[in-house]
Each structure stands twice: as structure tokens, then as C-alpha cells.
Amino acid sequence: MRLLMFKNRLFPVISTFVILLISCGNNTASKSGLSEDHLAVISKDKPPLKKDIVVGANRTEMYLPILKGQRVGIVANQTTVIFHDKIKEKSHDNGSQDKTQEFTHLVDSLLALDIDIKAVFAPEHGFRGTADAGESIKDGVDVKTNLPIISLYGNNKKPKPEQLKNIDIMIFDIQDVGARFYTYISSLHYVMEACAEANIPLLILDRPNPNGHFVDGPILEKEHKSFVGMHPIPIVHGMTIAEYAQMINGEQWLLNGVSCKLSIIDMQHYNHNLSYSLPINPSPNLPNDQAINLYPSLCFFEGTNVSAGRGTPTQFQVYGSPYLNKNVYNFKFTPTPNLGAKHPKYNGQLCFGENLTKTDRLESLRLSYLIKAYNNSVDQASFFNDFFTKLAGTKKLRQQIEQGLSEKDIKASWQAGLTDFKQKRAAYLLYD
């Protein structure tokens, strides 16, 4: 087990002969007096089940001693959990099985262990992960824990000094999906910047990148920097949150070149080529592995007059529009309000498009969907909007599509930038 440290080795290396696992199961209570609902003591020699990935949050023996006696802030959402070994299996008539891993929210677990959490900082979609994309999130109080919740979306993307004044250490534990325009890495940037300016250390509990098996897309140009793209990286960067945090520091992307004091709890048994199924939806419109894998390719449609399936049960697994040629596209859907899409594009209107729910796992960014839709739009003049350039990070992609370039030729134009990025990226990787 490793506690990875950066910038003046903030904390001592911790060695222990027991592994503390937060548990909601019926384990034997420890001598600490904690409820059996929250703590089990297991020998360090007990191997993990089938060499499953052990996320940073589960390596409690590495970070609980760090947090004791500290006033803690935490950047968290519904994916901020500790998993348990117990697997629920449900068999189907066709012989297949669903496996559901049990978990406890990290905030609830830390409070049960008398960790002094002062505030929760919530990214896009909120602390419980139910808000629409782009929806303004208000500050408030968590009804379960009575902790103050401070929104990091809308007008307060960066924690203010007064919001950090009672905090000794900040935790960042959010499940990302590895795409530049997925705003959790933008929130990471601002949290690191605020912590650096306030001289507050940041503890990152690392999690897998479900799209960590490839790197692809155009490099963002600085003149197109926005909250959906803050750094000169490709659309699919192939890094975990902790690796990305190291790159933010190393490339001096924080304001005035400040550097955040990072401590990282890395994962066990993880590498970038592993296929990892997220047990909790990272946001309301990414409901399954298929949507997460297609998201980097289909999110381009958010900057066009084509729907990416918001307002359907198959968000980011279908695309369509009333303006696509129905003689070419025989798949149809009608968006209606649902969780995460209160006002979906083309609400109540019939859309013609393509169903990608059975598509094999993508190993690269796919432009063919976007190019096909543009070429078969009955309203090409209104196909793109200004948001498309922010998503792409460059004006060139729109121009290339409008000029009729092939996917192969467009992707060839990215190669020099991707080669340079991969060389830089290599210095910050924690896993093979």
C-alpha cells in the first residue's frame, strides 16, 4: 500500500497491521466502541476478492489517521462511497446475473468515525447527483447529516476564502469519466487553486477512469477555454482524477503558477486498460457503461441541433432530431422530461436518428455519428451553435466537417498534438 505525497511530504507514511473498512453490513463490532454498522477490523493479509480494484476511499487505513483531529472539508457527490465485499447477485431467466456491490457514503462513514467534517462542496449535479446538466445548484444543508453544502457550480465555481476558513484539510473524491468537457475536472482545478492560495492540503482518493483505455481528440486551444474545457488536453485524456491533479500542478495551470499540496491515496489492482463498470451513475444522464463509453463521441451533439437522447431512457446511447433525414434514419424517439432532463431538447417532438445501444465498446473517439448527422441534416445552416466550439476546444473541427473532410483526415490533423500530450502525460501516470 502506498500513500503518495507531493510538495514537501505533508504527512508521515502510515503503516498498520489492520485494515479498517467502513461497513453497513452485520460485522462484529470493534473494541473502539463504534457501531457494528460502521466498522469492521480485518487482517491485512486477507486478499481482496478476485483481485478486484480497490478504490482509494476503501483504503481507510491509509487516510483515517491523517484526518483525526483535523477540520475537514470534502468535495463529494453520490459516487463518493466506500464499497463492501458483499456482492448481491440476481439471476435472470436467460442465465445472466446482475451483481450489485454494497456501499456506504463516505461522508456518512467519516461522521460515524468522529471525523470532524465542516462542509461538503458539491460539483455539477449536486451532492446527491440529481440536478440537470447546467442547472444552477444552490447552497443548502444536507437533510441527512445537517452539514452545510456549498455549491461549486454556477456563480461559485471556486471555493471562497471565507468558505475555507474553518478547514484544515480538504478531501476530493468524485468519480470522473475521462472526458475534457465533463466538468468534475474543472471543479478539481478550482478546488486545487483555492486550497493552494489558502495553504490547505488536498487529499485525493483515486477512482478508475472508465474511458482510461485511450487518448483521443483535438487539443483545446487557450482562446476557447471555458468550464467545459480549461486545459490544453485532448477530449479523452486517459487519466484518473489523481493523475490529472498531478498534471495540473506539474504543468502550472493554476492561477499565478501556484501549486497545491497534494496527498494521494492510489488504487490497488488498477491499470488503464481494465474494463471497469461503474456501480453508481456518475450523473443522471450517464445511466450505464454504454452511455459512459459513448459520451465523449456523442457529447458533440450538445453543440448542434441534434439531441443526444436527453429526455429518454437511453441518454447518450441514441441521437436524433426532427431535422435529420427520415429517409436515412429509421430509428425514432420522442424526448420527455425525466430525471436529469427537466426541459430536454425537442421535448414532445418526434426525432429521427440512430440507436447505438448495441454498439461494441469504443477504443477511440468516433466522429462518424457527427459527420453523418451533418451530411443528412435538412437544416445544415442551423446545425452547429456557438457551444460546439467550446466542446471541441477549437474552431477547426466545425470547419473541417463543413468542408467535407473525412473522419480519417480530421483525426490525422490531431496526431501531432496527441503525441506531444502523451509525452507530457507519461510523467504524471500512477498506473500502467
CA distance 205 to 195: 16
Identify whether the C-beta of residue 50 lies closer than 8 Å to the C-beta of residue 27: no
Query: Looking at this protein, which amino acid is placed at residue 331?
Result: F
CA distance 166 to 169: 9
Banded pLDDT at 339 (limits 50, 70, 90) = confident
Q: Tell me: the pLDDT tens digits for 259-270?
A: 999 999 999 999
CA distance 40 to 175: 25
Q: Tell me: the pLDDT tens digits for 57-99?
A: 999 999 999 999 999 999 999 999 999 866 555 555 544 445 5
Q: pLDDT at residue 3 above 90?
A: no
Banded pLDDT at 32 (limits 50, 70, 90) = very low
- What contacts 424, CB < 8 A, 6 or more positions away? 247, 251
DSSP 3-state percent helix, strand, coil across the chain (nearest 5): 25, 20, 55
User: CB under 8 Å, gap of 24 or more: what pairs does 405-409 form?
Assistant: 406/371, 407/367, 407/368, 407/371
Residue whose grid cell is 466538468 = 183
Average pLDDT of span 403-415: 98
Q: Tell me: the pLDDT tens digits for 99-124?
A: 567 899 999 999 999 999 999 999 87
Report which of 62, 57, 61, 146 is spatially closest to residue 103, judged by C-alpha positions. Answer: 57
pLDDT, greater one: 102 or 325: 325
- What contacts 143, CB < 8 A, 6 or more positions away? none
- Tell me what pLDDT residue 127 has: 77
Q: Which helix (H) or strand (E) holds 407?
A: helix 407-412
Q: Tell me: the pLDDT tens digits for 127-163?
A: 764 444 444 445 688 888 899 999 998 888 999 999 9
CA distance 223 to 232: 10
Helix runs in 199-341, H state only: 241-250, 289-298
